[in-house]
Structure formats: structure tokens, C-alpha cells
């Protein structure tokens, strides 16, 4: 239709046709956007599906091979491959990866089995999967439960008895943990205080009578604490003895025997006998354990709660530091500084700061915050603890401040844009009512620019939550189950080391002794980090939108 | 704080006729040298040979005029003639522009306001301003009106409530917005926003209200409302209005100043100036012959 119309108006004959609305260009733009969307969705779907599959318990399959060997485990992969003997074959043979567990008995957690060697595949209903405190899972069959040499239960009865013992063990472990994290921790804390007090006496070097009096008080305290410590130690020993009182005799699919104290078993299931409903319950329980528990076995098992907590607390501290700093700096730049060459240079420098590699900030944080400020704080206030550093070593506070420096340009730029968007007319309206410049900024300009500031904070959070490199040198560690918040005054310990999801992914995926087993854990943790960042961003976006609605503009 | 009574808006406005205007105090001759002020107490603002420079260019050239109390004075003239600049000298809003320099003087109640020792914020409290484009704060209607009193230290909830109601009634806006005082002011219509700005200006009880083309962005209906409002407000305040619209000047103002190229060509009673202008330039402008 367009061509006909153009002809009639008198487009010269033979002129190349024009593309009326840049149709091809629009298609190109749309295609680019579609590709970007595809990448994002693909990323979420891949990480999400791999990560969420980690918690699903597959059935245990029993393979009988041609040489009579028997393997029991979950099928984790199947692929075609080219073994040396398959040179002449038309169809390539397939092999199956089986998670056989039993790390303490066999050579490896996972084995590849050539499909041609499998004689029989069955799902034995009595195949048991035991989660253990050490050595990962156990796959096999329960024979009998005994207390010392006396058999408590045998055969099918042994399974029921074992389940009861595992439940009892859970309660005992909870008691133990409460003791260790509670009273024992208190005693250790007091003992440390006594040690520091003693050191203080040495440093103060008071006159002899004063010195004797203080040392005597400390010694008395020590005696009292030692008595308490022994009492607690007795109770824990009793609990441990009870945990290990009964032993379960197990046999693997290949016939190897293994005896295990029931206290070392965290959970016992028979996946082949479980329905979908029971497995779903197990799934939810495992997700919860993943979110709420401490890591075990050098991060390859257990949960990641300390890493979640560390990440959130660090980002929170960073936000507290970066918002006032960035907003005040932007206020000066935009509202007070004389706009000129100097301000332009400063602005360019601030923008460039956003492009500095993050590891450089980490090095700066180490030199300035940790060694500089932290070292000074230690020598001034924590002298008795030296040479062990308190603030003079990496900690969550220094990590948060380092990230605040890293993200402050983002906040400055976004706030400046927010300030610039407040119309001059509105400022004049305030000034014309007799308000001072400060009152105008405080009561009119800042509230109106608040959405801009929050945009800056959102970008800062998104960046900070994902940073790993600078944190590795200012306080992030592989394992720090002790949270920066605990029951000893002042409750929030900003000097503590902390765990971080980003580093946890790296650690689990590449530093772990059992890379194959932790691969799904990498995806699960990555998915969680993704969810966490999205959640924190959504919170900030909700706040921003509420602010925007309150100051909704009518467009008049 | 200066106490003044504001007439409630529901009282019927007095009919305004030419006769009622003539019944008022006679206006001073203008431009008049300061020593000839027979009614000095009725002069609220006195501009005395005021020149203003933006950098090197001169925007105002030795302007002298006297603005009588509780009257409406209009500044008219073509764009760029300096009428807004002159208006903004009266509450020192030109301070906000870089590179502005003035000569001469502006006196408010006989006191010079251009000196560096003048408390500008106090001056702006006593000489309020309404702008060409309505500029409500991105806050609720209530907070907009209460803004000025709050800045000047009024805190009591009931006091503020009373001020807000009185000001909104004074700006003939109360009945329209009393049920949505805590909604955003930006949701109002353009005319309502401009009247809100007027309410905001009178909430601090100024003596003079400067209006810088208050109706130029409004439709005729909203313009008529604002004009009615000005005639109502002049009972309590001195109004100075800058306008492009000569009909508006002739409708509402008692006195009119015609400015051209930074000079004041003529200042006189509105009826006199429009019916019987002394200067050729004035006549050309008001009859539309002006290029």
C-alpha cells in the first residue's frame, strides 16, 4: 500500500525503494532485546533448575555387573562415549554415572559404568541411605542394631529401631550444641576476659599490693570458671557417650561390612520405598536445612546459613555507610559547590572511581581500614589482646566500608541526577517563602530527590552483593560458623570474620575435595545468591515506588 | 508574626466599580522624587532610580516608582522589557542569579532592602511571591500551605490547621480541597495549583504579594478565578502583578507601570494610563500598534 501511494505522489521511477518505517531496523532492535531476554531467562532457568534439583532424592538403584560386582547408588548422568574397545562398533556404547557414596570404603564417590556390563538393574526397597556426620552418605543395607555386643534388634526390626535412635540422636545433638554454643561458649568468653585482665595487669604494672589484689581476683575467677568448665565437660561427655551407645551394623551392596555408632547418623531413609508425597516432604526439609544449618565437612555438606547471614549483614552495613556518604557528597557537588572547572574534574574523577577494578579497592581497604584504622584502634583500645589483632585484621566492618567506597560513585551519580531533576521553580517557591537554602534543601529538595537516592542504593546493593574479590583480603573467610551477632555484649561484633555466598560458591565449586559431589551445591548456592539480590533489590524498589507515588507528578 | 484578619471566602465579594476605585486615596504622582511623597505612609514599596545589570548588559535603567499599600499595581510591557526583573528585585530573588549588580535603591516601608545586611529570609517572608508557572512542592496540599509557617517556626498542630484553613479560604480553594488535604498537590488542576501557590504565599501573612504572570499558563476560566481572587486579596495585601495581558491589567489593577527596554515609560492610574496615555509609546503598545 505504501508503494502505491508513493508512486502516485510522484516518486521518480527506478529510485530504490525506501524502507518506510525502518522496518528492518526495528526488527534488528527487537531481535537484540529478545536475545538479551533469552540470555537472562536462560541463566535463571539453568541455575534454578540445576540448583533446585539438588534437594530432590532420587531412587537408589542396584546394578549387578557381568563380573558379579554389585553397585548401589543414584544415577546422576548418562552419556555415550568412545572406549578403546569400541573402535569397530557402529553404535557408540553408553555409560552411566552412579553416585555410590561410601567414601570411607570405596575409592570414589562416583563411578562410571559401561551399560554393556550391566546384567541387572533393580530398586531394592530395603536399600538405605544414611546421612553421616563424616564421610558423606552411606548406601547399603541395615543388618542389626546392638548395644556393645548385645543385639538390640535385627532384620526389619533393626530399621525401625535405627529410626528411633536417629531421632533420639537429633535431640541429643541439639542438647550438645546448646551446651557448646551456650554455656561452654560463655565460659570460654569469661576465660578469655580473665586472660585479657591478667595481661592488662602486666601492661599497667601497678604497685605490688594493687597488683597482688588484682591477680588474686583473677585467679579466683579462673578457679571458678575451671570448675564450671569441668562440669560442662562432664555433661558433654555423658551426652556423647549416650550418642555413641548403640552401634548399627551395615553391609554395602558389594558385601563390605561397616559398623557405625548411631550418633554419627544424621538421617536415615529408604528412598526406593518412598512415594512422591514423602519425597516432597523430604525435599522441603532439605531446603530448610540448606538455608538454616551450618556447613559441615569443609562446606561440602550441610547448610549455608552463615554465608547468607554474612552477605545480608555486610550489604546492610554497606548501605548504612554508603547512603549518607554518597548523598552528602552529591549535595555538596550539586547544590553548594561553585560549578566550574574544579567541580567538573571532581565529577569526572568520581565517575572514573566506579571503573576502578574492585580488587584495587580491596587492597586499599586492607592498607587503609585494616592496617591503618584497625591497627590504630587495636593499639589504643585493645592493647591487652595484642599481638592478636582485634580490629587490625579483616572483619565485616572493614569489608562493608571497602564496598561502600566501591559503590559510593554510583550513589553520588544517581543522587546528583535526582537533585538535578528537582525543578528550579520548586526551589524558588521555597526561597520566596523565606526559607533558607538549607531549609529548602532539607525540606523540599531532598524528599523530592529521594527516589533518585534509592535508585543509587539499589545499584550499590546489586553491585556489593556480588563482589567477591575485594572481600577476600578484608575479612571474608571460608568458614566462620560464629555469626557476627551473638549473646555476648556488645552483641554485634563488627570485627568478626564472616562468610559470603559469592565466595562460598567459589570455595564449594573449586576448592572442595569432592568437586563432583558439590557441583549441584554450586548451582543451589548461586541460585540462592540470585534470589537474595533480587529480594534486596525488590525491597528497595518497593520503597522507591512508594516514595514516587507519594510525590506523584501530574505532569502539569 | 504580623496579625491580620483574612476575610472568609464565603462572604459575598463587594461589587467592584470604577467609582469605588476612585473613592480611594489619591495616588501619588509618578515617577515622583522621594521628597514629594505627601502620602508617604501609604507607600509600601519605593523603587528609587534602580538600575540592574546582568554582567555587562543593563536590564533595568534608572527606574523609579512608588507602590501604594493595599492596591494592585501592574507592570506591563513587551517580553524582555524587565518587568519580571523589576518584580524580583522587590524580594531579592535576583540574588539567586549569578553576576547580578544593582544601582539605586528599593525601600520597603522606608527601609532599604538591597543592602548586604538585610535579612533576606525575613524580607521574603514579608514580601511573598507567586510565580508564572505554578510550583507546588511535591507534598500534600496541607504540607504545601503549612510549609511557610513551619519554616518560620510554627509547630502546633491546631495552629497550623487554622492557618491552612484560613489561607485556603483566602485563596478561594478551601471548598474544593477540604476533603483531600493530605493528597498530593501535584494531582490538582493547573488553576487549582496556582491558587494553592497563592494560598501558600499568604499563609506566612506577608504584607506584599508579588505575582509574576500568575495566569499566563491558565485557561480563561481559571484566569477569571485568579483575577477575582486578586480583587479579594487586595483588601488585606498589597499586590504587584506582572502581566502580558493588557486586558488583565486594566481589569484588576489600580495602577499600571509600562516598561520598555528596561526603562519605565509611564506609571499612573490604570484608567488614566489606558484611556489617556501621556506617552506615545504607551499608546502604541496598548493599542497593539507596537512592533
pLDDT tens string A133-171: 888 888 888 888 888 788 888 888 888 888 888 888 888
Paired sense of beta strands A257-261 and B57-68, if any: unpaired
From chain A, pick out residues whose CB is under 8 angstroms from the CB of B134: 556
Strand partners, B154: none
Neighbours of A178 (CB within 10 A): 11
**pLDDT confidence band for B38 (50 / 70 / 90):** very low
Q: Give the per-residue pLDDT at A35.
A: 96
Q: Kindly state whether A213 is in contact with chain B, defined as any CB-CB distance less than 8 angstroms.
A: no
pLDDT exceeds 70 at position B28: no
Q: Kindly state whether A335 is in contact with chain B, defined as any CB-CB distance less than 8 angstroms.
A: no
The C-alpha of A550 sits at a distance from chain B's nearest C-alpha, in angstroms, of 7
CATH 1.10.40.30 assigned to domain A306-550? The reply is no
Closest CA to B51 of B290, B263, B271: B263
**Cα gap A166→A172, rounded to integer Å:** 10
Q: What is the domain partition of chain B in residue ranges?
A: 41-286
Strand partners, A145: A153, A248
**Cα gap A417→A327, rounded to integer Å:** 11
Specify the DSSP element, H or E, that contains A268. Answer: strand A265-269
In eight-state DSSP terms, residue A271 is G
**Cα gap B196→B178, rounded to integer Å:** 12
Q: Give the per-residue pLDDT at A208.
A: 81
Q: Give the per-residue pLDDT at A11.
A: 65
Could you check whether the bond before residue A202 is cis, i.e. omega within 30 degrees of 0?
Answer: no
**Cα gap B50→B29, rounded to integer Å:** 18
- Cβ of B200 within 8 Å of Cβ of A433? The answer is yes
Q: Give the per-residue pLDDT at B27.
A: 44
Chains A, B: CB pairs < 8 Å: 85
Find the closest chain A residue to B139 by CA distance: A551
Phi, psi of A271 (to 5 degrees): -60, -35
From chain B, pick out residues whose CB is under 8 angstroms from the CB of A444: 137-139, 147
**Cα gap B185→B199, rounded to integer Å:** 12
Buried b (16+ CB within 10 A) or exposed e, A514-553: beebbbbbbbbbbbbbbebbeebbeebeeebeebeeebee
Q: Give the per-residue pLDDT at B41.
A: 52
**Cα gap A438→A313, rounded to integer Å:** 33
Region of poorest pLDDT, from A523-532, B21-30, B37-46, B200-209: B21-30
Cβ proximity of B140 and B186 under 8 Å? no
Cβ proximity of B266 and B257 under 8 Å? yes
Q: What are the strands of the beta sheet with B127-130, ordered from one edge?
A: B127-130, B208-212, B238-242, B72-76, B255-260, B263-269
Cβ proximity of B76 and B83 under 8 Å? yes
This model of the complex carries an ipTM of: 0.81
Interface of B with A (CB under 8 A): 91, 93, 96, 121-125, 128-129, 131, 133-139, 147-148, 150-152, 184, 186-190, 193, 197, 200-201, 204
Give the distance between the most distant pair of CA atoms in chain B.
56
Helix axes A276-292, A305-331, angle to 10 degrees: 50
Find the closest chain A residue to B203 by CA distance: A433
Q: Kindly state whether A421 is in contact with chain B, defined as any CB-CB distance less than 8 angstroms.
A: no
Q: What is the domain partition of chain A in residue ranges?
A: 61-123, 150-289, 306-550
Nearest to A434 among B135, B136, B152 (CB): B152
**pLDDT confidence band for B33 (50 / 70 / 90):** very low
Which residues have a Cβ under 8 Å from the Cβ of A520 and sit 6 or more positions away? A50, A51, A53, A54
Closest CA to A237 of A311, A161, A184, A300: A184
Find the closest chain B residue to A439 by CA distance: B151
Cβ proximity of A441 and A330 under 8 Å? no
From chain A, pick out residues whose CB is under 8 angstroms from the CB of B129: 432
Cα of A79 vs its chain's centroid, Å: 32
Task: Measure the CA dihedral A281/A286/A288/A290, to 10°.
Answer: -170
Given phi > 0 = left and psi -120 to 50 = alpha, else beta, which region is A323?
Answer: alpha
Helices (H), chain B: 18-22, 83-89, 120-126, 141-151, 157-170, 174-177, 190-202, 220-233, 246-252, 270-275, 280-286
Q: Kindly state whether A436 is in contact with chain B, defined as any CB-CB distance less than 8 angstroms.
A: yes
At the top level of CATH, the class of B41-286 is alpha beta
- Percent pLDDT > 70 in chain B is 85
Ranges of chain A whose pLDDT falls below 70:
1-12, 16-21, 86, 489, 550-556
Cβ proximity of B127 and B93 under 8 Å? no
The tens digit of pLDDT for each residue in B150-168 reads 988 888 889 999 999 988 9
Helices (H), A248-395: 276-292, 305-331, 341-353, 358-365, 375-381
Three-class SS of residue A70?
A: strand
The tens digit of pLDDT for each residue in A440-491 reads 999 889 888 888 888 888 888 888 888 888 888 888 888 877 777 777 767 7
Cα radius of gyration (chain B): 19
- Percent pLDDT > 90 in chain B is 10
Phi, psi of A37 (to 5 degrees): -60, -40
Q: Give the per-residue pLDDT at A10.
A: 65
Cβ proximity of A198 and A220 under 8 Å? no
**Cα gap B91→B210, rounded to integer Å:** 8
Q: Give the per-residue pLDDT at A345.
A: 93
pLDDT exceeds 60 at position B261: yes
Neighbours of A554 (CB within 10 A): 13
Cβ proximity of A313 and A484 under 8 Å? yes
**Cα gap A420→A334, rounded to integer Å:** 8
B73-96: average pLDDT: 87
From chain A, pick out residues whose CB is under 8 angstroms from the CB of B147: 430, 433, 435, 443-444
**Cα gap B124→B209, rounded to integer Å:** 10
Which residues have a Cβ under 8 Å from the Cβ of A242 and sit 6 or more positions away? A172, A263
pLDDT exceeds 60 at position B285: yes
Is B151 exposed, middle or buried, given 0-12, 13-18 or 19+ CB atoms closer than 10 A? buried
Cβ proximity of A517 and A110 under 8 Å? yes
Q: CA angle, corner A427, sides to A425 and A429, nearest 5?
A: 70
Nearest to B129 among A432, A436, A551 (CB): A432
The C-alpha of A35 sits at a distance from chain B's nearest C-alpha, in angstroms, of 40
B61-84: average pLDDT: 88
Overall residue count recorded for chain B in this entry: 291
Is B133 exposed, middle or buried, given 0-12, 13-18 or 19+ CB atoms closer than 10 A? middle
Q: CA angle, corner A331, sides to A328 and A334, nearest 5?
A: 150
Q: Kindly state whether A481 is in contact with chain B, defined as any CB-CB distance less than 8 angstroms.
A: no
- Cβ of B96 within 8 Å of Cβ of A431? The answer is yes
Specify the DSSP element, H or E, that contains A185. Answer: helix A185-204
Q: How far is CA A376 from CA A369, A379, A390, A470, in A?
A: 10, 5, 11, 22
- Cβ of A429 within 8 Å of Cβ of B200? The answer is yes
Three-class SS of residue A2?
A: helix
From chain B, pick out residues whose CB is under 8 angstroms from the CB of A423: 135
Helices (H), B90-242: 120-126, 141-151, 157-170, 174-177, 190-202, 220-233
Three-class SS of residue B7?
A: coil
**Cα gap A358→A469, rounded to integer Å:** 7
Instruction: Report the residue of A429, A439, A450, A547 to disrupt the B interface, i.e. the one with the largest count of B CBs within 10 Å.
Output: A429
Amino acid at each position: 500500500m505504501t508503494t502505491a501511494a508513493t508512486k502516485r505522489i510522484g516518486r521518480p521511477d527506478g529510485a530504490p525503494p525506501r524502507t518506510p518505517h525502518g522496518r528492518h531496523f526495528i526488527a534488528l532492535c527487537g531481535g537484540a532485546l529478545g536475545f538479551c531476554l533469552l540470555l537472562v531467562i536462560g541463566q535463571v532457568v539453568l541455575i534454578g533448575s540445576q540448583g533446585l534439583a539438588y534437594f530432590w532424592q532420587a531412587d537408589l538403584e542396584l546394578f549387578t555387573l557381568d563380573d558379579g560386582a554389585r553397585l548401589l547408588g543414584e544415577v546422576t548422568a548418562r552419556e555415550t562415549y568412545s572406549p578403546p574397545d569400541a573402535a569397530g562398533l557402529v553404535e557408540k556404547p553408553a555409560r552411566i554415572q552412579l553416585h555410590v557414596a561410601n567414601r570411607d570404603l570405596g575409592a570414589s564417590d562416583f563411578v562410571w559404568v559401561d551399560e554393556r556390563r550391566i546384567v541387572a538393574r533393580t530398586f531394592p526397597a530395603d536399600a538405605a541411605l544414611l546421612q553421616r556426620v563424616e564421610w558423606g552418605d552411606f548406601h547399603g543395607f541395615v543388618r542389626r542394631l546392638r548395644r556393645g555386643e548385645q543385639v538390640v534388634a535385627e532384620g526389619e526390626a533393626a530399621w525401625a529401631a535405627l529410626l528411633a535412635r536417629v531421632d533420639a540422636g537429633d535431640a541429643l545433638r541439639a542438647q550438645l550444641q546448646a551446651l557448646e554454643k551456650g554455656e561452654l561458649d560463655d565460659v570460654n568468653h569469661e576465660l578469655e576476659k580473665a586472660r585479657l585482665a591478667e595481661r592488662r595487669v602486666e601492661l599497667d604494672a601497678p604497685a605490688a599490693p594493687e597488683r597482688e589484689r588484682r591477680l588474686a581476683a583473677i585467679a579466683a575467677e579462673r578457679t571458678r570458671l575451671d570448675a564450671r568448665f569441668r562440669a560442662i565437660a562432664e555433661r558433654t561427655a555423658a551426652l556423647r557417650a549416650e550418642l555413641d551407645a548403640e552401634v548399627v551394623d551395615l553391609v554395602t551392596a558389594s558385601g563390605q561390612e561397616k559398623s557405625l555408632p548411631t550418633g554419627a547418623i544424621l538421617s536415615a531413609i529408604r528412598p526406593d520405598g518412598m512415594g512422591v508425597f514423602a519425597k516432597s516432604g523430604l525435599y522441603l526439609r532439605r531446603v530448610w536445612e540448606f538455608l538454616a544449618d551450618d556447613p559441615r565437612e569443609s562446606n561440602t555438606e550441610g547448610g549455608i546459613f552463615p554465608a547468607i547471614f554474612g552477605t545480608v549483614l555486610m550489604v546492610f552495613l554497606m548501605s548504612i555507610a554508603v547512603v549518607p556518604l554518597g548523598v552528602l557528597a552529591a549535595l555538596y557537588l550539586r547544590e553548594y559547590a561553585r560549578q566550574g572547572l574544579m567541580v567538573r574534574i571532581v565529577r569526572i574523577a568520581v565517575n572514573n572511581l566506579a571503573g576502578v577494578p574492585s580488587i584495587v579497592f580491596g587492597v586499599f581497604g586492607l592498607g587503609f581500614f585494616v592496617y591503618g584504622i584497625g591497627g590504630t584502634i587495636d593499639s589504643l583500645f585493645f592493647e591487652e589482646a595484642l599481638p592478636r589483632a582485634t580490629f587490625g585484621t579483616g572483619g565485616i566492618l572493614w569489608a562493608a566500608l571497602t564496598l561502600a567506597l566501591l559503590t559510593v560513585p554510583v550513589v553520588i551519580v544517581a543522587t546528583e541526577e535526582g537533585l538535578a531533576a528537582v525543578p528550579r521553580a520548586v526551589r524558588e517557591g521555597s526561597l520566596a517563602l523565606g526559607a533558607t537554602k538549607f531549609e529548602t534543601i532539607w525540606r523540599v529538595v531532598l524528599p523530592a530527590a529521594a527516589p533518585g537516592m534509592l535508585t543509587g542504593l539499589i545499584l550499590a546493593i546489586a553491585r556489593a552483593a556480588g563482589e567477591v574479590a575485594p572481600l577476600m583480603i578484608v575479612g571474608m573467610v571460608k568458614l566462620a560458623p560464629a555469626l557476627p551477632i551473638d549473646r555476648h555484649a556488645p552483641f554485634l561484633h563488627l570485627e568478626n570474620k564472616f562468610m559470603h555466598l559469592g565466595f562460598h560458591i567459589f570455595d564449594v565449586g573449586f576448592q572442595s575435595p569432592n568437586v563432583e559431589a558439590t557441583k549441584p551445591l554450586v548451582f543451589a548456592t548461586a541460585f540462592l545468591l540470585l534470589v537474595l539480590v533480587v529480594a534486596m533489590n525488590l525491597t528497595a524498589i518497593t520503597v522507591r515506588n512508594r516514595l514516587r507515588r507519594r510525590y506523584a507528578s501530574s505532569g502539569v | 508574626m504580623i496579625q491580620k484578619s483574612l476575610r472568609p471566602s464565603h462572604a459575598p465579594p463587594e461589587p467592584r466599580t470604577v467609582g469605588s476605585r476612585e473613592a480611594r486615596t489619591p495616588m501619588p504622582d509618578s515617577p515622583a522624587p522621594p521628597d514629594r511623597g505627601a502620602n508617604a505612609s501609604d507607600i509600601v514599596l519605593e523603587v528609587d532610580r534602580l538600575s540592574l545589570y546582568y554582567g555587562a548588559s543593563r536590564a533595568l535603567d534608572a527606574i523609579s516608582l512608588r507602590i501604594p499599600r493595599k492596591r494592585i499595581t501592574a507592570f506591563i510591557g513587551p517580553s524582555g522589557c524587565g518587568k519580571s526583573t523589576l518584580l524580583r528585585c522587590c524580594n531579592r530573588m535576583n540574588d539567586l542569579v549569578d553576576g547580578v549588580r544593582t544601582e539605586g535603591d528599593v525601600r520597603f516601608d522606608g527601609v532599604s532592602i538591597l543592602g548586604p545586611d538585610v535579612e533576606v529570609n525575613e524580607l521574603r517572608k514579608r514580601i511573598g511571591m507567586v510565580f508564572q508557572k505554578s510550583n507546588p512542592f511535591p507534598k500534600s496540599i496541607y504540607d504545601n500551605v503549612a510549609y511557610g509557617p513551619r519554616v518560620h517556626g510554627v509547630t502546633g498542630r491546631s495552629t497550623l490547621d487554622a492557618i491552612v484553613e484560613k489561607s485556603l479560604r483566602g485563596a478561594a480553594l478551601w471548598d474544593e480541597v477540604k476533603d483531600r488535604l493530605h493528597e498530593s498537590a501535584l494531582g490538582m488542576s493547573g488553576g487549582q495549583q496556582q491558587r494553592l501557590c497563592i494560598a501558600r504565599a499568604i499563609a506566612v501573612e506577608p504584607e506584599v504579594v508579588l505575582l509574576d504572570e500568575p495566569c499566563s499558563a491558565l485557561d480563561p476560566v481559571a484566569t477569571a478565578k485568579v483575577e477575582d481572587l486578586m480583587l479579594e486579596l487586595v483588601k488585606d495585601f498589597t499586590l504587584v502583578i506582572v502581566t502580558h495581558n493588557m486586558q488583565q491589567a486594566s481589569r484588576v489593577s489600580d495602577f499600571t507601570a509600562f516598561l520598555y527596554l528596561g526603562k519605565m515609560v509611564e506609571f499612573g492610574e490604570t484608567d488614566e494610563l489606558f484611556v489617556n496615555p501621556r506617552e506615545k509609546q504607551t499608546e502604541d503598545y496598548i493599542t497593539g500598534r507596537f512592533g
